[in-house]
Amino acid sequence: MYLSVVVPCMNEEEAIPALVDRLREVIEPWEDRAEIILVDDGSTDRTWAAITDAKSREPRIVGLRLSANRGHQIALTAGLEAAKGERIFMLDADLQDPPELLTDMMFMMDRGYDVVYGRRKERQGETIFKRATAHLFYRFLNMLSDVAIPQDTGDFRLVSRRTLDAILDMPEQSRFIRGMFAWAGFRQVGLEYVRAPRTVGETKYPLRKMMRFAVDAITGFSTKPLKLATRMAFVSLFLTIIMAVYVFGSLILFQTVAGWASLLLAVSFFSGAQLLTLGILGEYVGRIYTESKKRPLYYLSEELSDTTPNVIRKSA
């Protein structure tokens, strides 16, 4: 197998037919040396039926159905673990990232690159809030991260087998795959493209999931928040000393001690600092707790392929 295309799908029954049609044209140069892996991430609509129907028309499709919804990054991991190709192409089912860019990515990989990722120079059809938060997220992440993560990128990329094998060797449960590829290194290059608006369905990343995704990214690739907590403790101690000098000076000089406003301000500041510190520690402790359980990332309830149809298997 030369090329594997991996697509996580969550409630994308309307997008599957167009997705398969465009992918069929894109991978045609590789004929029977290519596969399309569609991963149903516990969808609640007829996504699996759409994948099954597509399989009947396109034999190169491999369908994986997770036993429950595990999130985009786990569904993508399931597809990557099943991929057999020497080159692996990743994209989402909504077709906002153009699969036709594969030709250019292949050309760049022929020149010796191990990872060719898409960089969004324009995001059409998205709200100002969405564009602004995405812009700030990548800059804030790079400011905190110990690893340089390409800005304005997603999981839309073409990677070599040796790079993918390095990623699959990483055992973490809370996965931020684009950060893992950045950490792995190898030769990487970006290709700019215009991200199209979604034509069917709705986004699977509301604000709540975006916030959780951001926390996973920061705690997975940076210890700077822990260092920030330590610095805040020193700042609090310094301000406490200043306030103690002020209070004792007021007593000695028989001046009136500041009233409730200054007291409320001090209590609010130290309480906020303590709660923020505990929250930061809690995120890292929770991550350690999740990793220590070593549960399988996912289970498959069904699998459609030419060799092992309807097999139930799991991944650790």
Q: Is the pLDDT of residue 72 over 70?
A: yes
The pLDDT mean for the chain works out to: 76
Domain CATH for 73: 3.90.550.10
Same domain as 167, residue 270 = no
Q: Which helix (H) or strand (E) covers residue 51, if one does?
A: helix 47-57
Same domain as 241, residue 149 = no
Same domain as 304, residue 177 = yes
215 occurs within a structural domain: no
Same domain as 71, residue 44 = yes
What is the pLDDT at residue 293? Answer: 64
Same domain as 311, residue 274 = no
Same domain as 143, residue 160 = yes
211 occurs within a structural domain: no
Task: Return the closest-CA partner of residue 224 out of 144, 156, 304.
Answer: 144
229 occurs within a structural domain: yes
Same domain as 193, residue 234 = no
Q: What is the pLDDT of residues 238-253, one digit of tens each?
A: 766 666 666 666 656 6
34 sits in the region (left: phi over 0; alpha: psi -120 to 50; else beta) called: beta
Which residues fall within 8 angstroms of residue 69, CB to CB, at 6 or more apart?
10, 41, 42, 43
Residues 10, 75: Cα–Cα separation, whole Å? 9
Q: What is the pTM of this model?
A: 0.67
Higher pLDDT, 208 or 312: 208
Strand order in the sheet with 153-160: 188-195, 115-123, 153-160, 87-90, 3-9, 34-40, 61-66, 298-304, 314-315
Cα R_g (the chain), whole angstroms: 24
Same domain as 267, residue 166 = no
Residue 9 near residue 79, CB atoms below 8 Å = no
Same domain as 99, residue 229 = no
Same domain as 309, residue 287 = no
Residue type, 65: R
What is the pLDDT at residue 310? Answer: 44
Q: State the average pLDDT over residues 12-24.
A: 89
Same domain as 285, residue 303 = no
49 occurs within a structural domain: yes
214 occurs within a structural domain: no
Residue 199 near residue 95, CB atoms below 8 Å = yes
Q: Is the pLDDT of residue 214 over 90?
A: no
Number of domains into which the chain is organized: 2
What is the pLDDT at residue 153? Answer: 78
What is the dihedral sign for C-alpha 304, 308, 310, 315?
negative
Q: What is the pLDDT of residues 259-287, one digit of tens each?
A: 545 665 566 566 666 666 776 776 677 66
Same domain as 159, residue 30 = yes
219 occurs within a structural domain: no
185 occurs within a structural domain: yes
Task: State the residue range of the domain holding 30.
Answer: 3-206+296-315
At residue 223 the predicted structure's pLDDT band, cuts being 50, 70 and 90, is low
Q: State the average pLDDT over residues 197-215.
A: 62
What is the pLDDT at residue 88? Answer: 93
The highest-confidence range among 206-215, 237-246, 291-300, by mean pLDDT, is 291-300
At residue 29 the predicted structure's pLDDT band, cuts being 50, 70 and 90, is confident
At residue 13 the predicted structure's pLDDT band, cuts being 50, 70 and 90, is confident
